[in-house]
Structure formats: C-alpha cells, structure tokens
Structure 1
Amino acid sequence: MTAIARRPSPPDRFDRRLLSPMMLGSILNPINSSIIAVALVPIGIALGAPARETTWLITGLYLATAVGQPLMGRLVDAYGARRMFLIGSALTLLAGVIGTFAPNIWVLVAARVVLGFGTCAGYPSAMRLIRDEGDRTGVDSPAAVLSALSITTQTISVIGPVLGGVLIDAGGWRSTLAINVLLGAAGLVLGRLYLPPSRRPVGRARIDVVGIVLFTIALVSLLLLVMSPSVGRLWLLVPVLAAGAGFWICELRRADPFIDVRMLRASPALVRTYLRSVLAALVSYGYIYGFTQWMQEARGLSPSLSGLVLLPTFAVGIAVVALTGRREALRGKLIVGSLAQILACAMVLALGDRSPLVLLLAIAVVLGIPQGLLNLANQNAVYRQARSEQMGAAAGLLRTFMYLGAIGSSSASGVLFGRRADTGGMHDLGLVMLAAAVLLLVLAVADRTLGGRAARGD
C-alpha cells in the first residue's frame, strides 16, 4: 500500500487529514496505560500472581515508555513523523499478539514492555506534525488542534478502565491485549494513507547507546528501591547516583545525546513544566490504578462497574478542555487544577469499605477538572517553550516525565497495598497524592513566567 495522492492544503489552514492518524497514535499509550487497571485482579487470579508481581504490568510499560519516549522523539525529529509512526504501529501489533497468548505473568510483562516502546512514537509524531503545520500555515498556536490532541491523549486514559471492563466481561482479560492487534493494524493503514513525508531534510541520528544504558540503570535501580523500600536495599542508591552522574556528564559531551540535557539547562521554564507533569501524573494515575483496585477488592465492585465509575472523569475532562482550550491562561489552569486535585484527595481520605456509590462518583467528577486543565496546560506550555527543531524530543520528554509520575504512583500502590488493596492502603495512597497536589499548587503559584502567553522557544 502506498500513500494516496494528497491535494495541497490551503496555505493558512491545518491539514485535517492528519487528524485521524495523529489521534490514533496519541491514544495508544494512554489507553494501554489505563485499560490494565481493571485487568490486574483478573490477571492475578488467572495466572496465580500476587499484587507485587502484577504491578510490573504497569511498571514494565512505564519503564519502557520512560526510555522510549525521548528516543522516539529524537528519531521523529531526525527521520520524520511518518516513518517512526509506522514502526511504532508495527511494534504495537506485535505486542498485542505476544500478550494475547502469554502463558505466564512474566511473558505478559515482556509483551507490555514491547507495547511501551511501540506506543512511544504516536505523541511526539503528532506534536512534530502540529509544529510543522504551524510553520507552514503561519498559525503560531493552533489552539483547536492542541485542544483536540489533549482530549485524545489525556482524558482518553479514563476510557481505558471502561473499555477494559467491557472487554473482560465479553472475552476475558486476554482481550485487553488482543485489542492492540486491531489498533496497531489501524495505525499502519492510516499512517500509510495520510501521513506526509517529512518536510524537513531527513538526518541520520546516531543512537546514544551509552546514554540509554546509563539512564536505564539509574531508573531501574531507583524503581527497585521505591517498590520495596528497606534498609537492606539502600545500596541501590549507589547505582542510582553513579549512573545518574555518568549520564549527565555523558549527555553534556555528546553532539547527539539520548536526552538533550543542554536543552533542559537552557530552559528552566521547560524543566518546571516537566516537574509539574510528574506531580500531576502521580495524582492522576494514583487515582486510576489505586482507586480502581480499591473499588474491586475493598468495595466489592465488578471490573465493568469500576470502569463505569470513572466515566464522569472522562466526561468532565472533555468538557473542561472544550470550554477552556482556546484560552491559554496556563498559570490559571494549573492553579485551579491543583486545587481540584487537593479537594479530590481529601475526599479519598474519607472513603470506607461501605462508602456510598455517590461519593465514588463525586470523586470521579472532581478529578475530571484537573484531568482536563493540568494536562492541557502542560502540553501547551511545552509547545510554547520548546524550540521548533526540538519539538519531537521535547514532546517525548513530556511523556517521559509524565510516566515517571505514573511509575511513582504504581510503585506507591504496590508498597502501600501489599497483597490486597484495602481501605487503609487507599488512605495512605491518598496522603501521597495529597502531598503531590499541594506541591503542584505551590509550583504553579510561584512560577511568574506563566502569566500571560508563555514565551516561544525559538
């Protein structure tokens, strides 16, 4: 199959034919990040795996994503969005096949790792295409397109538990992996049909193997420590610090680094955006994973009903983006969003084993506000703060930092829940989420550079 003939788009209008592959590619990672939430308990029962092992289904994908996002972002900048989008779709399809027939928990974890790498290409490809279209049309900030992307990449994560519950009821937990065969195939078709060749000269990116290895050693060592903290594991701080220091020095000296730390050093505003993304994700994914497990194991709800309880978060998030997407107001969105997170965390602390369904729905509604505001604000801040030629890498790093927050939330869930997600563990997780929300509010209030329109990176 070859790309269809493309009529020239109007010089001042975004090419709408790009939207379908952009949106599909961008949802692959968040929908797989959340669809597993309602499948953890059925998978554990079917494969005889305790909670501390099923947690690796979440952590494995996020670990692969944390490494793969900046790598894919750089490759998108170097080789073009179309090529990397198609490679990512093929890996997604392959992971779906492996996961569907996985005989044990660790083969399933391996499938999720492949899935993590495969789904990394969609979002940086989309942001690269938006910036290229902005340069072509002369529209500095295509607010409607950025808002649509925010809806599909951020609030779509809440559809995952609902879809997961439906799939489990219809075809068992393996259907939550099999869906990626269809999604990967659709990505290959849409990418071939609609994505244009790169409008920039295609470069040759040298893979920074040393940087990738050092980054992975530091991240895995930190992960092993926070998932099972104890005095006997403090030795893991040695590889964390040694690999982290070596990574920083190595990346500063390379002309084509895995993660461009010079870009981070030159843009403190971009670093603050990434830090806000970590904190926002810690609360959001703590809710999606921890709250969903608690509803099934402590509150006794079915997987499908647990997914439906999260549906208001999705609906409110879309409404918030639709109402506020055309207004930048980055600082105001961050402040209101963090205040809503604080309120929701306080409500989580009031949960009990027999809490009425209306309280669970109220928490879902309140969390829809930051689900829309925070993700939209951080995405638009990166679009403003990153240089044009680094947009793919900057967008990939945004996802990396977001999933570092998700890794933190899944690790906290594994530590605080143990073998069962009881109410006491949910309260402890709520306190962790509350601390992150308060820190996010402090950062938003203190950052005066967000007042008005954030400065364009280039």
Structure 2
Amino acid sequence: MSASTAARTDRFDRRLLAPMMLGSILNPINSSIIAVALVPIASAFGAPPSQTAWLVSALYLATSIGQPLVGRLVDTFGPRRLFLIGAALTGIAGVLGVFAPNLGVLIAARVVLGFGTCAGYPASMYLIRSEADRTGIASPAGVLTALSVATQTIAVIGPTLGGLLIGLGGWRATFAVNIPLAVACLVLGALVLPRTVPATPGAGRLRIDLLGIVLFAGTLVALLLFLMSIGVETLWLLGLAVLFGAAFAWRSLRAPDPFIDVRVFAGNVPLLVTYARGVLAATVSYCFLYGFTQWLEGGRGLSPSQAGLVLLPTFATGILVATLTGRRPEIRGKLVVGAAAQVVGCVVVLFAGSGSPIALLLVVAIVLGIPQGLVNLAVQNTLYHQADPARVGASAGLLRTFMYLGAMIASSASGAFFHHGTTDAGLHDLAWFMAGTAALFLVITLVDRSLARVDRAARGSSEPAAAS
C-alpha cells in the first residue's frame, strides 16, 4: 500500500514530515555552514576573499537557476523523482568537496550542491498543497511552522555546526556532512514519498525552454559579475544584465512552456511585493551570516569554533520565536516586528569593534535571531496564500530564487566592504548597508495593504489547521 493511501484521509500524513524537513534543510545548512569555513579555505589555497566569495555565489547562482526549473518539474511530474535526483547530486557534491585538490574544483562542487539542493523546498510545498487538497484543510499551519523551523533556523545553526566540524576534521568535513544527509534523503524519499500520477491532461509532458534558461542564467551571471566589482568601468555588465533580462521576459511571454512564466505575476502585485520583501530580508540576513562571521574570525580574532558558538544564540532565539509565534495566524505583525528587529540589530553592529566584549557580540546574535524566527515563516505563509494553487511549486521555487538573489547581493557586499581585509571600518560600512536595506524592508511592509487580506485568509483557516 502506498504512503498516500495508507494515510488517514482526515489529517496531514505526518510520515511525510521527515523527508520534507530533511530535504528542505540541505540548502540552508550548506548556505550557512560555509560561513565559518571561508577563512580556513582561503588559508589552505592561498586565496583572497574576492575568490572565496565564489564559494557562496556559485551555490546561489546554481540554485537560482535550478529552483524555478525544479519547481515546474515538481508541479508536472510530482515530487518523488526530483527529490531523489536532488539527494543523489547532493551526495556527489559532498564527495567532490572532500577530495577537491584546488579552489576551482571546490567551487564546482558548490555548483553541483546548488543544483542538488533545489528539490527539497518546492517538493515540500507541493506535498503541503496536495495534502491540504486531500484532507480539505485549507492551511496546515502546524506543518508550515515545523517546516519553517527546520529550514530557516537551521541556517543559523550551520556556523556552529561548521565550527565544530572544522575543529574535528578540518574544513573538508563541512562538505563530508552532505554524504550521510544525502543517503538519509534517498532512503526516506524512496520509502515514504508517494508515486504521484499526473492529475491533469498533458501533465507529465514538459518541454524544456533551453533558450529561456540561457537568458535567465545570462541575466544572473552578468548581474553577479557587476555586483562583485561595482564601478563605472563595470557598468556595461549591468547594461548586459538588463538586456538579458528584457530578452528573457520577451521569451517567457512567447514560449509555450517558458522556463519561468512571467504571467504568474500578471495581476498579482502583492506576490511581487512578497518576492521583493524576500530579497531585502535575505540580504540583511546573509550579510550578517557571511560578513559578520568573517569579521568575527578575521577582525575579532576568534577561531571558527568560537565564531560558531557566538552565533548559537541566533539559532536558539530563532527557534524559540518561531515556536512561540508559528501557529499565530497574524502575518503582518510578524513582518513588522521582524523588520524592526533587523534595523535594531544592524545599529548594534555599528558599536562592535576588534576590542568588543563577547557580551556585545552575543547581544547582536540574539537581536538578529528574532527576525530569523519571524520573517522567513511570515514570508513563506504569505506566499502560500498569494500564489496560484496550481503553480505553488513554481512560486515557492521563485521565492527561493529571489532570496538567493539577496544572498548573492550580501556576498558581493561583504567582498566589497572587506576588500582590504576584515577591518572594523569594513564591518561598520557593511552595517550601514544592512541598516538601509532593513529600513526599506520595514517601509514596504508598513505600506503594503494586501497583507490585511492575507491576515484575514490566515485567520479564516487557523481553526481547522490546528487539527492538522
């Protein structure tokens, strides 16, 4: 008997939670675990920060391209096959990273890792939607909360885990951890995930829009290269990104099966605002994760293990806040409080320096843990209510793409502000950039009237969702 038929028909099949959560954490844990490994890797290969920054950007570039495609494939073929393929690629990337002889191979391993970790999140969102349709429960708030706790706050424990792994087995251990995780995903996915049968005519047949993929990738690569070296002499890269982007939009409107259907956005301005909010929130979060962590090691003089421990309160605070507020249906309030906490945390960073006591650094970690527990869950729930149900997998993949764009901006900003080393002055410049981004996030949240409708929809479904 399959997992779907064995499950009770009146509630969410909780056997799906284990593969959903495990698959979804692959990307955030690899996004964050590298933060404490950048300095040891740079030392091992004699590479400057401008080169090791590609270890961050390469993963996000691959994931930004892969997420929309995998999201569409999940919507078309179901989550099982894509989940298993992604898990296998993750394991291959782990092996490649363990034996990488140089920085180039290590960057290639991160690219494979980016594609491999694409499937977990859209597969989970697909399963949540399909289970909601099966059970008649409009919004499984408890499941969404559990998934958010697993995916979003795990990004913060990554540096702590990375520091411990580096202390035990060197920086290569941060790649080796993917091997057992991939094996666990393969086993759970094969045993638990349902064999989905396409439910609509034409489903299961999808033409790959290769030109659209090339144009989208060209847009991101040109934009990333510009962000990595902003200046008058590189403005042509920004112009090239605009040209690629315009050609991509033109192609999307005319292709029968576009790589990313920009018509998803037609008449759905609130969803566009949600994506913009995702970019801004991720930019601040990843600036802290990568920039502040590098400064802890290079500027404050902490070891990778010590830096990971300093960031541990961020994880604990995020988990606590998400657990306490996750089942509350109000979304706008979470976004406002989370954005305000980002602004306050960035201001506190301005007072940090090479001689700062550990207590001040812990205050920064705690304050910036509040938005970790509020913002990502609220943005995820907002998308759940705003997206077209038939395109929830693709819409979820796009949300991750926009958030990864924020991560690439953060990586570029860290490289630019630490161009001459992880100095206090560079940290403060980064903090000003973070504060301005957080302030913009707060403003667009305060003026977004569509969030009132999302709150009403969330409150309307909170009672039956609690039974899930």
Residue 370 (structure 1) aligns with? 371
Counterpart of 1:64 (choices 43, 62, 65) is: 62
Q: Deviations over 1:349-404 (max 9, x none)?
A: 11111111001101111111111111011000111111111011011011101110
Residue 207 (structure 1) aligns with? 208
Residue 323 (structure 1) aligns with? 324
Amino acid at match of 1:13: R
Question: Size of the alignment, in residue pairs?
Answer: 455
Structure 2: distance between partners of 1:280 and 1:287: 11
1:456 Cα offset (Å)? 6.8
Contact 2:42-2:49 at 8 Å conserved across structures: yes
Deviates more, 1:323-332 or 1:448-457: 448-457
Residue 174 (structure 2) aligns with? 176
Q: Deviations over 1:137-169 (max 9, x none)?
A: 011010000000111110100111011001101
Residue 448 (structure 1) aligns with? 449
1:325 Cα offset (Å)? 1.1
Amino acid at match of 1:344: G
Q: Deviations over 1:287-311 (max 9, x none)?
A: 0110100000110111011011111
Amino acid at match of 1:247: F
Residue 310 (structure 2) aligns with? 309
Does the residue aligned with 1:10 lie in a helix, a strand or coil? coil
Contact 2:332-2:455 at 8 Å conserved across structures: no
Deviates more, 1:201-210 or 1:216-225: 201-210
Structure 2: distance between partners of 1:319 and 1:199: 39
Alignment of 1:243-322 (within 5 A): 243-322=244-323
Does the residue aligned with 1:220 lie in a helix, a strand or coil? helix
Q: Deviations over 1:14-52 (max 9, x none)?
A: 001001100000000000000000000000001111111
Q: Deviations over 1:294-343 (max 9, x none)?
A: 00011011101101111111111111111111122111111110100000
Alignment of 1:21-420 (within 5 A): 21-198=19-196, 200-201=198-199, 202-420=203-421
Structure 1: distance between partners of 2:198 and 2:327: 29
Structure 2: distance between partners of 1:438 and 1:159: 26
Contact 1:328-1:453 at 8 Å conserved across structures: no
1:184 Cα offset (Å)? 1.1
Residue 18 (structure 1) aligns with? 16
Contact 2:70-2:397 at 8 Å conserved across structures: yes
Amino acid at match of 1:11: T
Structure 2: distance between partners of 1:141 and 1:270: 18
Contact 1:338-1:437 at 8 Å conserved across structures: yes
Structure 2: distance between partners of 1:419 and 1:199: 55
Amino acid at match of 2:406: G
Over aligned residues, Cα RMSD in angstroms?
A: 1.4
Contact 1:70-1:400 at 8 Å conserved across structures: yes
Contact 1:158-1:314 at 8 Å conserved across structures: yes
Does the residue aligned with 2:266 lie in a helix, a strand or coil? helix
Structure 2: distance between partners of 1:279 and 1:345: 14
Q: Deviations over 1:101-144 (max 9, x none)?
A: 11110110000000000000000000000000000001101000
Structure 2: distance between partners of 1:230 and 1:172: 37
Structure 2: distance between partners of 1:12 and 1:439: 43
Does the residue aligned with 2:301 lie in a helix, a strand or coil? coil
Amino acid at match of 2:92: L
1:6 Cα offset (Å)? 6.5
Structure 2: distance between partners of 1:6 and 1:337: 37
Structure 2: distance between partners of 1:307 and 1:139: 40
Structure 1 7/390 Cα, relative in aligned 2: closer, same or farther at 3 Å?
closer
Contact 1:387-1:456 at 8 Å conserved across structures: no
Structure 2: distance between partners of 1:60 and 1:5: 36
Q: Deviations over 1:66-114 (max 9, x none)?
A: 1111111001001110110001001101111111111110110000000
Structure 2: distance between partners of 1:266 and 1:258: 20
Contact 1:147-1:325 at 8 Å conserved across structures: yes
Contact 1:317-1:372 at 8 Å conserved across structures: yes
Does the residue aligned with 2:6 lie in a helix, a strand or coil? coil
Structure 1: distance between partners of 2:192 and 2:308: 33
Q: Which runs of 5+ in 1 are unaligned?
A: none
Deviates more, 1:239-248 or 1:31-40: 239-248
Amino acid at match of 1:222: L
Deviates more, 1:85-94 or 1:247-256: 247-256
1:413 Cα offset (Å)? 0.4
Give TM-score scaled by structure 1 length.
0.97
Amino acid at match of 1:154: Q
Does the residue aligned with 1:283 lie in a helix, a strand or coil? helix
Q: Deviations over 1:165-188 (max 9, x none)?
A: 011010011111111111111111
Identity over aligned pairs, percent:
60
Contact 1:4-1:193 at 8 Å conserved across structures: no
Contact 1:35-1:164 at 8 Å conserved across structures: yes
Does the residue aligned with 1:327 lie in a helix, a strand or coil? coil
Structure 1: distance between partners of 2:322 and 2:198: 31
